[in-house]
Structures are given as structure tokens and as C-alpha cells.
Amino acid sequence: MKMMNCRDAAQLMSERYERTLSLRERLSLRVHTAMCDGCSNYGKHLDVLRQATARLREGKTGGDH
């Protein structure tokens, strides 16, 4: 099985919010982050960022309550 490098991993991690990754992509990403602290932290960071952004966006557009 081909190992992805950190650049590929970072790319997939940002793409997964815009499209559905294939099973193979998700699997390689998982294998990579399990072994790479840098990418594992980057992934968590992206999640936090994305949640914060989603919350901001909700606050701005969903103003009917």
C-alpha cells in the first residue's frame, strides 16, 4: 500500500469538507494521521476551525429565532 505524504494528507483533510472522500482516501488518511503527529494535530485544528466558522455562519444567516 502506498503511503501518502504530509502534503497529500493536508490536501485531503481540507478537501473532505468540500467533497466526500473515497473509502481508499479516507483509509490512507487515517493510516497517515495515526502515524504522523503533525497531520493528526492539523486535522484537529481544521475541525475546530470549521466548527467555529459554521457557528459564525449560522449566526449571520439563520436569524429567525
- Piece of the chain touching Zn ion by CB under 5 A; list 19-27, 35-43, 45-53, 54-62: 35-43
Residue 21 is a binding residue for Zn ion (CB under 5 A): no
CA distance 46 to 48: 5
Q: How far is the CB of 1 from Zn ion (least distance, A)?
A: 16
Nearer to Zn ion, 3 or 48 (CB): 3
What ranges in the chain are assigned the alpha helix state H?
A: 6-15, 23-35, 37-61
10 sits near Zn ion (criterion: CB under 5 A): no
As a whole number of angstroms, the distance between CA 51 and CA 47 comes to 6
Position 48 contacts Zn ion (CB under 5 A): no
| Residues near Zn ion (CB under 5 A) | 6, 9, 36, 39
